[in-house]
Structure 1
Amino acid sequence: MKNITNSFVSVGHWPSAGSFKFNTNILATNPINLSVVLGVLIFFGKGVCASCVRKQRILSTIQNSEELRRGAIEQLERARVRLRKVEIKADEYRTNGYSEIEQEKVNLINATCKSLERLENYKNETLFFEKQRAINQIRQQVLQQALQRALGTLNSCLNSELHFHTISANIGILGSVEEITD
């Protein structure tokens, strides 16, 4: 132990302390010690390096996860904004659709009422014309019957000259009546 302590303390006594030379003595250069130290460093340092690499990977994974989470949150917010816009549009369409349906219903009811009114007017006009035609037919029949009775009465009461004169007068009256009706 004393030798080791003396070698550290007496650094100034080394013959090569102030000069630079290559030492070819293998035992003096300690390649064995260096290889042991390197082996120990590699053996224990490998775990430290692997642990650093693992930590770096974990840190990288966490950072990627954070970025993905931020991106997902942004996408979620954009989707919520789009959803709100779509809901507003849907409410507008729903409201407008109900308004349009009500307007169409009112228009259909109005059109149906107008059609029914036109049909009622047409029916009334048709009934009026049919009534007028029936009245005219009855008048003509009554007139013909009256004329036939009058002719029958005249034929039985009159002589042929008076008969001829009455017929001529009645034909003149009938001609003037036909001109009025035309």
Structure 2
Amino acid sequence: MDIGWFLATEGGFGLNFDILETNLINLALVIGILVYFGRKFLGNTLSTRKATIEESIRDAERRKQEAASALAEQQQRLALAQDEAQQILANGEQSAARAREAILMQAQADVERLKANAAQDLTSQQERIVRELRQQISAAAVERAEAELPNRLQGDVQTRLVDASIAQLGGDR
């Protein structure tokens, strides 16, 4: 086959190899067809895409505002929690100081009570020892007197002592 067969010279169908002439015509045809058939499709697609983008932007702005309000609320809660923590810490320090003072006062009272008990115990021990010493001295004196009395008392002295004792008791009748 001959290349000439594909080329039509007069009124037929064929290929035209003139680049400048054929590209402009082809380009105009393609743009015309695209504009005619694609206007509605492309317009609908672009308007749908535009609406989707606008909705996404509005949704993003809404979420941004919600996040900002949530952030502000959480920051406020954090500030309240920090204030409460400071207050709890201050109350704890005050309670510890009061407890320390109460413990010191109780310890001082215990020391004073122990001192008083020790002094009382010391006094009672001294009194008991003095009492025991007196009893021992009295017992020793009575023993010694009983031991020496028979030697010193003779008939005449014994009679006078008995008479004097009866007189003191009121037997003088």
Q: Deviations over 1:154-177 (max 9, x none)?
A: 2111125744746x95xx9xxxxx
Q: Which residue of 2 aligns with 1:136?
A: 131
Q: 1:146 to 1:68 in 2, by over 3 A?
A: same
Q: 1:160 to 1:86 in 2, by over 3 A?
A: farther
Task: Describe the SS at the equivalent of 1:74.
Answer: helix
Mapped to 2, the partners of 1:160 and 1:95 lie a distance apart of 98
TM-score, scaled relative to structure 1: 0.65
The offset of 1:144, in angstroms, is 1.4
2:144 to 125, 142, 149: 149
Q: Where does 1:1-182 land on structure 2 (aligned, <5 Å)?
A: 41-159=36-154, 162-163=157-158, 165=161
The offset of 1:115, in angstroms, is 1.2
Q: Deviations over 1:95-133 (max 9, x none)?
A: 111111011011011111111211221121011101101
Mapped to 2, the partners of 1:115 and 1:143 lie a distance apart of 41
Structure 1 unaligned runs (5+)? 1-36, 173-182
Structure 2 unaligned runs (5+)? 1-31, 169-173
Across the two proteins, how many residue pairs are aligned to each other?
133
Q: Which moved more, 1:40-49 or 1:72-81?
A: 40-49
Mapped to 1, the partners of 2:45 and 2:156 lie a distance apart of 156
Mapped to 1, the partners of 2:73 and 2:137 lie a distance apart of 94
TM-score, scaled relative to structure 2: 0.68
Q: Which amino acid aligns with 2:42?
A: G
What is the identity percentage for the equivalent residue pairs of Structure 1 and Structure 2? 20
Task: Describe the SS at the equivalent of 1:131.
Answer: helix
Q: Deviations over 1:77-98 (max 9, x none)?
A: 1111111111111111101111
Mapped to 1, the partners of 2:155 and 2:57 lie a distance apart of 140
Q: Deviations over 1:34-81 (max 9, x none)?
A: xxx999644332122111101110110110110110011011111111
Mapped to 2, the partners of 1:123 and 1:161 lie a distance apart of 57
Note the aligned Cα RMSD (angstroms).
Answer: 2.5
